[in-house]
Amino acid sequence: MKVEIFCDGACSGNPGVGGWGCILRYGDNVKEMSGADGNTTNNRMEMTAAIEALASLKRPCEVHLTTDSQYLVKGMTEWIGGWVRKGWVNSKKEPVLNRELWERLMELSRLHTIHWLWVRGHNGHPENERCDELARAAIETFRRSC
């Protein structure tokens, strides 16, 4: 089963009010999801979008996950192995930020075969643009609810 996931995060202030949005596509079926947090960072929202999308899958899948976050893609494809081996410290010998989110992504990644794909943000990629709209709308909805 091949699923396409597109995700994005946004933050108004960094840290500040943040939102995330994602699109899941399986054949002709499309699902959009979004959410917000009152005190967060852009990186956390990028990661949360991926976590929420992957957590919504009901069975193991081959996933093509597309994001404009190099932090997310490089974290999952290049850095995470070293962080784990070194006890969750980075190259500067400092604790890895967002460890609990990285650990959740690792847990979800074990369930699926994931291809992490990067696209340039705000560059006309239709699904990436839509995810940005979802994330920004979630921020506005959050602000109106407070």
State the binding site for Mg(2+).
8, 46, 68, 132
**Known binding-site positions:** 8, 46, 68, 132
Selecting among 38, 107, 122, 140, the annotated active-site residue is 122
Residue 68 designated active-site = yes
CB neighbour burial string for 3-26, b if at least 16 within 10 angstroms, e if fewer: bbbbbbbbbbeeeebbbbbbbbbe
In the residue annotation, 37 being an active-site residue is answered as no
Of 37, 52, 127, 132, which residue is the catalytic one? 132
Alpha carbons 115 and 125: distance in angstroms, whole number? 18
Residue 9 falls in the annotated catalytic set? yes
Euclidean distance between CA atoms 56 and 42, whole angstroms: 21
Please confirm, yes or no, whether 16 is among the known catalytic residues: no
Known catalytic residue at 28: no
**Can 132 be counted among the known catalytic residues?**
yes
The catalytic residues are 8-9, 46, 68, 122, 132
